[in-house]
């Protein structure tokens, strides 16, 4: 997980085109149907980063919208604000700032307001008046949470009757052409995701199962689900380099005896030869809230 702000911004922008291509249309449709039930619809984006989820979903929702982007990193939040203002101008929308420093975008009868909140979404019920919202979204977030953190978050959202649309939940990866050490390297990378940290152990590749199980217990139903895999082709050299770099930094912390340098050298050779491909498996999931 990138920590340097400029690198994090560069990484988020690079991955964005893979995210957009991967998003599952059936799960997205279920979310959009839920959003269309409200006018305006009030949505919280958790771990909003540089605003990619808003920029992807807002044009797909008919009618007026009120978004709240929650992000802990102030630099990413500033970048999100800039991107959204540019997007509004590019779409020919009237762009203003209201007295609360929210961006308000208007065109014809549609109004979209966006407020930006610096803070942890793990304290969501202390950050926001959740009774005014109907839906929450999160992209590539829940794999970073511990089981307890996910359970607490879902409990808060359920208590306030919010549906939850969570996208790009990591499940695994597979390199092509395959080689004998791939499985050990991927297992070590995922072990690093789930290493002991101050808050506990992150869910990593177990996040979709945990979301499904906890969601069923609280919401009384299974989420709408669908695959949202990244397909990384030989020509996607920068994306390959990003992911191999993450593995190079992570694996030695949990599996120092693996021949990581030799494995990386072979992957780099395949990349230079235009032969390396990679599939990163994700699952999109949507839990609608229906009053019983």
State yes or no: pLDDT of 22 exceeds 80: yes
Sign of CA dihedral 127, 128, 130, 133: negative
**What tens digit of pLDDT does each residue of 82-102 get?**
999 999 999 999 999 877 789
State yes or no: pLDDT of 18 exceeds 80: yes
Cα R_g (the chain), whole angstroms: 20
Structure tokens at 132: 């005014």
**What tens digit of pLDDT does each residue of 97-119 get?**
877 789 999 999 899 999 999 99
Closest CA to 124 of 102, 144, 149: 149
Mean per-residue pLDDT for 164-170? Answer: 98
Q: Which residues contact 275 (CB under 8 A, 6 or more apart)?
A: 177, 234
Q: Quote the pTM value.
A: 0.94
Q: How confident is the model at residue 255 (pLDDT cuts 50, 70, 90)?
A: very high
Angle, CA 113 vertex, CA 41 and CA 21 arms, to 5°:
70
Angle, CA 163 vertex, CA 159 and CA 166 arms, to 5°:
120
Q: Which residues contact 253 (CB under 8 A, 6 or more apart)?
A: 192, 195
Q: Dihedral through CA 55, CA 164, CA 151, CA 291, nearest 10?
A: 160
């Amino acid at each position: 997980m990138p920590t340097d702000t400029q690198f994090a911004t560069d990484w988020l922008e690079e991955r964005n085109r893979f995210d957009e291509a991967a998003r599952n249309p059936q799960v997205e449709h279920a979310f959009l149907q839920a959003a269309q039930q409200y006018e305006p619809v009030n949505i919280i984006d958790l771990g909003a980063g540089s605003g990619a989820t808003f920029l992807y979903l807002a044009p797909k929702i008919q009618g007026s919208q009120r978004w709240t982007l929650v992000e802990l990193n102030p630099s990413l939040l500033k970048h999100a604000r800039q991107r959204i203002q540019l997007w509004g101008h590019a779409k020919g929308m009237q762009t203003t700032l209201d007295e609360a420093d929210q961006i308000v975008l208007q065109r014809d009868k549609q109004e979209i307001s966006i407020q930006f909140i610096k803070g942890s979404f793990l304290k969501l019920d202390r950050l926001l008046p959740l009774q005014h919202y109907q839906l929450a979204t999160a992209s590539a977030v829940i794999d970073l949470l511990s089981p307890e953190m996910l359970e607490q978050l879902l409990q808060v959202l359920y208590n306030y009757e919010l549906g939850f649309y969570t996208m790009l939940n990591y499940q695994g990866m597979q390199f092509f052409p395959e080689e004998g050490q791939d499985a050990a390297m991927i297992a070590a990378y995922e072990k690093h995701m789930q290493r002991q940290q101050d808050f506990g152990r992150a869910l990593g590749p177990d996040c979709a199962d945990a979301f499904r199980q906890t969601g069923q217990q609280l919401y009384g139903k299974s989420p709408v689900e669908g695959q949202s895999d990244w397909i990384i082709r030989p020509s996607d050299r920068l994306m390959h380099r990003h992911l191999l770099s993450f593995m190079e930094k992570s694996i030695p912390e949990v599996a120092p005896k693996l021949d990581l340098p030799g494995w990386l050298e072979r992957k780099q050779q395949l990349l230079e030869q235009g032969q390396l491909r990679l599939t990163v498996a994700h699952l999109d999931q949507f839990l609608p809230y229906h009053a019983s």
